[in-house]
Structure 1
Amino acid sequence: MTSTVHASRRIERLVAGRATADGAGVKLTRVLASELQRRLDPFLMLDAFANENPDDYIAGFPPHPHRGFETVTYMLAGRMRHRDSAGNEGLLEPGGMQWMCAGRGVIHSEMPEQEDGLMEGFQLWLNLPARSKMQPAWYRDIPAAAIPDYALPGGGRVRVLAGASQGITGAITRPDTEPLYLDVWLDAGMTFAQALPVAHNAFVYVYRGEVQIAGTPVPSRQMAVLDNAAHADGVSLLAGAEGARLLLLAGQPLGEPIAQYGPFVMNTEAELHQAIQDYRGGVLA
């Protein structure tokens, strides 16, 4: 049960990501950073975190602002409590996802609700088009049971967080950027193919095991930026001897200027200055 892909995209480059800390000292790996924002438009950032030591995550992400984009937090293990300035509150649990559109502004916190054990997951930043950056903020909690998935022949599964795969519509669909966000589990030696629009930028992040794409291996904790060859109609993956788990993301580029200052992503420097002024003046939201 995979798409028919006649010509797979190839790997343009491999990215290892860099170790960093964010929030109040949460240790993570920044896989997609600012230098790739234009190449992987509309995606702005991808962080991966996997910490067994509570000292590496317990301080969490105290209240902080956002404007101009969407945040997507996907948990594999652990529990995180969300609260924001619009009065929303939710508990993100294993297998669940939180989708927040910061729009014209929101102040939120994401704090662990555990004192030991593994905390593992991802946070993705997805850009908004200029005309939507000042829309009202909104937030949605999506529990694990509400994320559609389907089985692969011979073993393995695909969870459809956003977009659509094999006729299965994901938990979220978004206009303009049309994001595809899949969590793909492959048993040893399995193949998986996904059709992709030629114009969409796409990448794969392997977080368990290894896969091959067009004959090139992608080891664990590496991101493969996929090319945009005009003849390619999708991507084909082959899992290694230990199987693999990976994220596959693709989206329609906005082709707009990107102006970023920390948690604010706008189109111009003037808009950034206004965001900072609004935050300092207590009128961000």
Structure 2
Amino acid sequence: MNQFKKRDLLEAIVGQPASDGDGVKLTRVFGGRDAARFDPFLMLDEFGSDSADDYIGGFPSHPHRGFETVTYMLEGRMLHEDHMGNRGLLESGGVQWMTAGRGIIHSEMPQQDHGTMRGFQLWLNLPAAEKMQPAHYQDLPAAAVTLHTLPGGGMLKLIAGELRLQDRTLQGAITGKSTKPLYLDLLLQPNEQLELPVPTAHTLLSYVYEGGIEVQGEQRQASLKAGQLGRFAQGDRLALAAGAAGARLLVIAGKPIGEPVVQYGPFVMNSEAEIHQAVRDYQLGQLAG
């Protein structure tokens, strides 16, 4: 008897045009409202343009406190610099997983004045007990991201977490997080089918950025097309089938924290008092002390 339960699609969300930093044009896939629906995730932005005017301003020096940022570059080159004197060049296929903790002040600036700049930034919350830890991060070049060829000819990139497939267990470069995040980038060939195990209680999201997929849920089938984010019901399997043009999509899952979320721009804490303290610390130059 098959005891596995396939996840049904609860809703499809369409991202909205936005800008951030020094006028960088992007799509805010989700973020800023109804944080409990996405717990432990706070925001997902997609940026992508072959016009330098859309990205050349970059993200000049700015602060963060209380959460993690995950920047995944599909194409382009971005330089990260922070108040601790760290420098890191993020290139095509690379990932930066940054834990802001008690505070970091950094910049993210394009290292190109033409060509395509394309990628994603995900914000992942931290539990209260971890919000004031020292800031740190991992830079992963493309070669450090786990790759796996799927039986149907597609490709799976595992950025974070562990994934148990039928014939093997894959390990991402990012592990040991209390929210136990799973972060995949999938390339599916036309009409390719795939079933992925996902911890039952994890929040599960999937963002299709090329092509389209059919979600084969326990109760019904549904579809997602490019530019749509899917949020899923509980279950321990995600069953997908790519459309006739194939698909490229992110699959993101994490253990909910279940704590209050109070956000003020780049600060994410558990109470208004903590937000006020973060603002004061920043104004006094003590945010990342």
- TM-score scaled by structure 1? 0.96
Q: Secondary structure at the match of 1:150?
A: strand
**1:116-155: CA deviation from partner (whole Å, max 9, x where unpaired):** 0110000000000100100000021100000011110130
| Residue of structure 2 equivalent to 1:185 | 187
The equivalent of 2:233 in structure 1 is 227
Aligned to 1:218: 224
Q: Distance in 2 between matches of 1:36 and 1:187?
A: 34
Q: Per-residue displacement from partner, 1:230-254 (whole Å, max 9, x unpaired)? A: xx32110100001001000100000
Structure 1 segment 116-127 matched on structure 2, within 5 A: 116-127=114-125
Equivalent pair of 1:54/1:116 in contact (CA under 8 Å):
yes
Q: Is the 8 A contact 1:5 1:234 kept in 2?
A: no
Give the 3-state SS of the residue equivalent to 1:117 in structure 2. coil
- The one-letter code sitting in structure 1 at the alignment partner of 2:45 is D
Q: 1:217: Cα distance to partner?
A: 1.1
SS at match of 2:280: helix
Q: Secondary structure at the match of 1:38?
A: helix
Tell me the amino acid that sits aligned with residue 40 of structure 2: P
CA apart distance, 1:5: 8.7
Amino acid at match of 2:262: A
Query: What is the RMSD computed on CA atoms of the aligned residues?
Result: 1.1
| 1:174 paired to 2:176 | yes
Paired position in structure 2 for 1:75: 73
The corresponding residue for 1:236 is 239
1:86 Cα deviation after fit: 1.4
2:106 to 86, 105, 108: 108
The number of aligned residues is: 279
Structure 2 vs 1, CA of residues 22 and 8 (structure 1 numbering), >3 Å: closer, same or farther? same
* Aligned mate of 1:279, from 258, 277, 282: 282
Q: How does 1:49-88 map to 2 (within 5 A)?
A: 49-88=47-86
Matching residue's letter, 1:173 = T
> Paired residue for 1:266, among 261, 269, 278?
269
Q: Is the 2:152–2:193 Cα contact (8 Å) retained in structure 1?
A: no
Partner of 1:165: 163
| d(CA) in 2 for partners of 1:35, 1:11 | 20
Q: How does the TM-score come out when normalised to structure 2?
A: 0.95
- C-alpha distance in structure 1 between counterparts of 2:152 and 2:83, whole Å: 47
- Find the aligned partners of 1:88 and 1:126 in 2 and give their Cα distance: 22
Quote how far apart the aligned CAs of 1:204 are.
Answer: 0.5
The letter of the residue matching 1:180 is L
User: Distance between the aligned counterparts of 2:89 and 2:82, measured in 1?
Assistant: 12
Q: Deviations over 1:157-187 (max 9, x none)?
A: 1000000123111010132200000001100
1:226 corresponds to which letter in structure 2? F
Equivalent residue for 2:18? 20
- Could you say which residue in structure 1 is the equivalent of 2:27? 29
Aligned amino acid, residue 226 of structure 2: S
SS at match of 1:279: helix
Question: In the aligned structure 1, how far is the partner of 2:146 from the partner of 2:208?
Answer: 21
Identity %: 54
Contact 1:5 1:194 (8 Å CA) reproduced:
no
Aligned to 2:145: 147
CA distance in 2, matches of 1:225, 1:174: 24
SS at match of 1:35: coil
Which residue identity lines up with residue 229 of structure 2 in the other structure? M
Q: Provide structure 2 residue ranges, at least 5 long, that are not aligned to the other structure.
A: none
